[in-house]
């Protein structure tokens, strides 16, 4: 059970870091362009952000039970 929780934690950290990176990239792209609409590359990035965010939400709502070893989830920059 501990190994499963550790793998879940690593996966969450990786996905969260990916989500942060995508959001920062999108923010920089939007700030560098003029206009009120997003281009196709930015829309693709928005879709990827949504996909990763949904994945993180699912992983956070499920857990592997049976262990008393609870450690906080650390979000690391890549």
Query: In terms of pTM, does the model score above 0.95?
Result: no
Residue 74 per-residue DSSP state:
P
pLDDT digit string (tens) for 5-42? Answer: 889 889 999 999 999 999 999 999 998 887 788 889 99
The whole-angstrom separation of Cα 28 and Cα 17 is 17
In 19-62, at which residue ranges do the beta strands (DSSP E only) sit?
A: none
The whole-angstrom separation of Cα 30 and Cα 28 is 6
pLDDT digit string (tens) for 4-15? Answer: 888 988 999 999
Q: Which of these, 53, 62, 71, lies nearest to 6 by C-alpha position?
A: 71
């Amino acid at each position: 059970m501990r190994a499963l929780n550790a793998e879940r934690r690593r996966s969450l950290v990786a996905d969260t870091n990916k989500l942060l990176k995508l959001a920062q990239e999108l923010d920089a792209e939007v700030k560098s362009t003029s206009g009120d609409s997003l281009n196709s590359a930015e829309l693709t990035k928005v879709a990827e952000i949504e996909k990763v965010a949904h994945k993180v939400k699912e992983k956070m709502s499920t857990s592997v039970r049976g262990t008393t070893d609870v450690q906080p989830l650390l979000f690391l920059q890549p």
